[in-house]
Amino acid sequence: MASIALKRPERNRDRSNLDFEDLEEFLGPQLPWVMWGCAFEDFLTREWEPEGNVVDLYLGRRGWREPALAKSYTEGLGDAYVSLHEVVATKTGETMVLRDLLTGADPVTVREKSASKTLQPGDRIAVRVVPVRDHHVISGGLLPFAPAVVDLLRDGLRNVLKLRR
């Protein structure tokens, strides 16, 4: 019996038409998974009329099965939004102080073990700050931004939304 060799079809290498597996080549090994996590969090927290968001639906049906801390995090995630933050201070392996660059809200201290080991004051990140009981944490989808990109984004948002400096 003759064997048939199957060839994988050639992929279009145009950057606007990438497969998920191709992202690693362009972005490095970790960033595609971080982006997937950000998209998943966005899906979980997006409001669908009239049902609400997936987090609320889950908690309504299965929330009773969750430990109290996990349920509190899930509730907080359901109401959290992505914003652009500047790292104001870090206590390595314990906490970070974040200042929201888009809303101008007061800085908030978040409990964070791993990111507080690598981020430094002045770094800018896009992340959700999630209230959990008496403290705050950050969600899993954290994207770092260069200062020049942040300035460009902030100026663009001000122009589009007609905001004052």
Which tokens in the block code for residue 97?
A: 């102080």
Which tokens in the block code for residue 108?
A: 């908030």
pLDDT value of residue 25: 62
Q: What are the residues facing 16 on neighbouring strands?
A: none
Angle ∠(145,40,122) on CA atoms, nearest 5 = 20
pLDDT value of residue 145: 82
* 107 contacts: CB under 8 Å, gap ≥ 6: 88, 97, 98, 99
Which tokens in the block code for residue 155?
A: 């100026």
CATH architecture of 27-161: Beta Barrel (2.40)
Q: Are 139 and 77 in contact (CB under 8 A)?
A: yes
> Would you kindly state where each structural domain of the chain is located, as residue ranges?
27-161
pLDDT value of residue 85: 92
Per-residue pLDDT for the chain (165 aa), expressed as one digit of tens each? 444 443 444 544 455 566 666 656 655 556 667 777 888 888 888 888 777 888 888 888 988 999 999 999 989 988 899 998 999 999 999 999 999 988 889 999 999 999 999 999 999 998 999 999 999 999 988 888 887 777 787 777 777 777 555
pLDDT value of residue 159: 79
At 88 the three-state DSSP class reads strand
> For residue 58, which amino acid is it?
Y
Output DSSP code: residue 48.
B
- Other Cβ atoms less than 10 A from the Cβ of 8: the count is 5
Q: Are 82 and 127 in contact (CB under 8 A)?
A: yes
* 113 contacts: CB under 8 Å, gap ≥ 6: 93, 94
Question: What is the pTM for the complete model shown?
Answer: 0.72
Sole residue written with tokens 């122009």: 159
